[in-house]
Amino acid sequence: MGGGLAGLSLGVALRQREIPVTLYEAGSYPRHRVCGEFICGRGIDVLHALGLYQKFVAAGAVEARSAAFCTNGRHYRPKELPRTALCLSRHTMDRLLAEEFQRLGGELLQRERFSGSQFSAGVVRATGRRIETHPKRIKWIGLKAHALGATLGADLEMHFIRGGYVGLCRLAGGVVNVSGLFAVTGPVPQLASRWQEFLRGPVGSALHERLQGAEFIEESFCAVSGLDLRPAQAEKAPECRVGDALTMIPPVTGNGMSMAFESAAWAAEPLAAYSRGESSWDESRLAIARRCDAAFARRLRYARWLQWLLLHRGSRGVLLALGERCDWLWRAWFQKTR
């Protein structure tokens, strides 16, 4: 269930093992998704293992080597990324994965919601974010649009503003991904006409200045709400889950896509064993859950702390100033959230 990155890459991994797969996707391709489009961490190794890395590059993915942070009117010195990242529009990425899945013989049903039971044997849930329903918890919305005409000081710029952040990431062809996460108190009226206010940041901010001469590509705008950013343990889930459906890492880390690819890679072998009759469904489901928990638990803990520190004005300045001066500290944040 779900043809986002987790569902499609799992489908590709299973088809490479000649396992029959039917994938239900509620939407269709190509489409824009709310995402910083910055792939970083172990997911890159999964892309290599699945033979997808070169396909992404051929489709226009560009490498990112530097990151810079801005807050409270201050630009911190750009830092070299401890590991090169890969940046590609989701409009291209999801379509490419869907085509690869079909090329390998997978059955892809678009504009079709899975109507069976998600708890049945052989059903994997890759339906994306879990929805936050608690009335008292912070409500997060995510917005994304592509822009032309913005000149960045690093391949990735992170601008922290009151109640959230906006990331600017270089894509191919002079396009810049502008995406952000914002804490809101309730529904945002007229978001369809006001989204640029959010993405451009407050007048006078470094972000606003950066995007002064930039023009947004209107049709690339997309939004998502109700994000549940609390870590979840796979072993406690009643069904088999991968990607954001399992747990969502705070987007400020830029590691969600990597976790979608990684969880798909962890799931492929136990699912293939189930399909070949070598293990029961419960054995396979638990093996996947344990692998994901072992791989993600520490990362999710650090990411939660990092998001908290970065989104609070008092701690953020101290943290960024320390990171600017101490290379080992910058490397440590980077490694521990990946």
Ligand X SMILES: Cc1cc2nc3c(=O)[nH]c(=O)nc-3n(C[C@H](O)[C@H](O)[C@H](O)COP(=O)(O)OP(=O)(O)OC[C@H]3O[C@@H](n4cnc5c(N)ncnc54)[C@H](O)[C@@H]3O)c2cc1C
Query: Where along the sequence are the contacts to ligand X (CB under 6 A)?
Result: 1-7, 24-27, 33-39, 113-114, 126-128, 142, 179, 181, 224, 227, 243-245, 251, 254-258, 260
CB of 325 to ligand X, least distance (A): 26
The single residue listed with the structure tokens 């952000």 is 180
CB of 335 to ligand X, least distance (A): 16
Nearer Cβ to ligand X (245/303): 245
**28 with 116: CB under 8 angstroms?**
no
Q: How far apart are CA 151 and CA 246, in angstroms?
A: 36
Q: How far apart are CA 297 and CA 299, in angstroms?
A: 6
**64 with 81: CB under 8 angstroms?**
yes
Nearer Cβ to ligand X (33/279): 33
Q: Quick one: which of 41, 35, 6, 18 has its CA closest to 143?
A: 35
Task: For strands 38-39 and 79-87, give the pairing.
Answer: antiparallel
Nearer Cβ to ligand X (145/272): 145
CB of 127 to ligand X, least distance (A): 4
Nearer Cβ to ligand X (127/284): 127
Nearer Cβ to ligand X (182/330): 182
CB of 277 to ligand X, least distance (A): 27
Calculated CA dihedral for residues 191, 196, 200, 201, nearest 10 degrees:
-20
CB of 278 to ligand X, least distance (A): 27
CB of 37 to ligand X, least distance (A): 6
Nearer Cβ to ligand X (129/279): 129
Identify the sign of the CA torsion 66, 69, 73, 76. Answer: negative
In the bound complex, which residue of the shown chain has the CB atom lying closest to ligand X? 4
Task: For strands 240-241 and 215-225, give the pairing.
Answer: unpaired
Calculated CA dihedral for residues 39, 44, 50, 52, nearest 10 degrees:
50
